[in-house]
Structure 1
Amino acid sequence: MFFSQESFFWSLLQAGQESFRSITRSYYRGAAGALLVYDITRRETFNHLSSWLEDARQHANPNMSIMLVGNKCDLAHRRAVSKEEGEQFAKENGLLFLEASARTAQNVEEAFIKTAAKILQNIQEGALDAVNDQSGIKVGYGRSQGPSGARDGTVSQRGGCCS
């Protein structure tokens, strides 16, 4: 199963950045997953999480997978929000959680992989319908199907983005 950029929106919400709120609302429709990001060195970004989460839940699919990411873990010496606080917020709100560093790339890929795995789990459990375009997921986008009809992971030689 593959997710395209246009069908699988990752909302990179920088908590506390009110100027982005109006444009992010339009992206919630059809989103299967989101990353809710705060800066561990700036308490005010953590304090705005509830507002951003409420906004996401109000405008998005109720089964959208949300990963809470404490960014800038490479600056632990300047930490204003403890890891335990982030974990607790995530637990109380049913979110995935990890700390990452965009600068060093620590846990960045992991954030996307874990969120994608949660989305796949939601599909397998029937919480998200991969056939319905409203779910934000397009199955097999940019890939061909093997002779048996199963997705074999090979890249199509025609169609897609690179033909």
Structure 2
Amino acid sequence: RIGSLVLAYDKLSVIAATIILCALLYLFFNRTTLGTAMRASSENMLAAYYMGIPVKRVVSIVWAISAAVATCAGVLLAPITFIHSNVGLVLGLKAFPAAVLGGFGSIPGAVVGGVLIGVIESMAGFYLPQGWKDVAPYIVLLAVLLLKPEGLFGLHVRKKV
């Protein structure tokens, strides 16, 4: 019990594990040589290759890390929700507005975007008619794309042509 908020222990442990996983990923990408190489490769593979970064190896490691993170997400999600064959599609459709809202390329932005999308869905489910709960994140997505296309934490980059 946190004020008027009541959470079960299993949900609290999932929240704590998710916070720890996000913090570890943030530190990995921003404080390690491999994380810097991954960010450089994602920005411009050819330039990263010319700077001496083994891009093929980095891409392989990215796939391995993404598989490990997806495995952790599945292990954390399984005890608290119903798992079915289309759960990836459903979660992917909910993750896209979160990533756009936070700003692509920003891990803290994606986390904040995910929390905001969750709050928006919960509030829409409580205050709006039944079908609007699933539509509300996309309405917010459209509003953000119209007002701030780079997202809340994204950087506005100008490219010379």
**Higher-Rg member (1/2):** 2
Which is bigger in relative contact order (C-alpha 8 A, separation at least 6)?
1
* TM-score class, shorter: under 0.3
Q: TM-score, length-normalised on structure 2? A: 0.28
Q: Which has the higher strand share?
A: 1
